[in-house]
Copies of this chain bind each other. A is one copy, B any other.
């Protein structure tokens, strides 16, 4: 299906075996990055960094997430190998989510970012309030 015949020479730069290149549109790392940095992906990873959670726990912890998006986000992260899903054959059923070793690693980076934003929100909002007067017509929503 992928008939890109332009693999002649320009694309000669090899990647060191499994090294991704985020600047390339079709590098798989783009998809992974999108999952990790998705609106709910970030929050799920950070939450799981605090320990194993059940579905409902995550749903309650992460304000504003719908069941559908939470399930979808968890599936993507599980597929990427970041999240482990354990089903307990009980009644009522119980499912627990936790980070894999790989997931723990990314989540640490994600939390570093999330923490920085939370901790510097004051400075950020201050910077926002002090832009030189630009012209109107801002597409800001």
Known contacts: A34-B39, A140-B79. The answer to whether A118 contacts B20 by CB under 8 A is yes
Residues of B within 8 A of A64 (CB): 25
Residues of B within 8 A of A102 (CB): 120, 123-124, 127
For the complex formed, measure the closest distance between the CB of A136 and the CB atoms of chain B, giving whole angstroms: 14
Q: How far is the CA of A126 from the CA of B39 in the complex (A)?
A: 25
Residues of B within 8 A of A75 (CB): 138-139
Q: Which of B20, B27, B116 contacts A109, CB < 8 Å?
A: B116
A125 within 8 A of B: yes
A95 within 8 A of B: no
For the complex formed, measure the closest distance between the CB of A1 and the CB atoms of chain B, giving whole angstroms: 12
Residues of B within 8 A of A43 (CB): 22-23
Which 4 pairs between the two chains have the least Cβ-Cβ distance? A18-B122, A81-B127, A25-B64, A20-B121
24 example contacts (A-B, Cβ-Cβ < 8 A) are as follows A17-B122, A21-B118, A22-B46, A22-B117, A22-B118, A23-B61, A25-B64, A27-B121, A29-B118, A36-B113, A37-B113, A75-B138, A80-B124, A81-B123, A81-B127, A81-B128, A100-B127, A102-B124, A106-B113, A106-B116, A109-B112, A109-B113, A112-B113, A113-B113
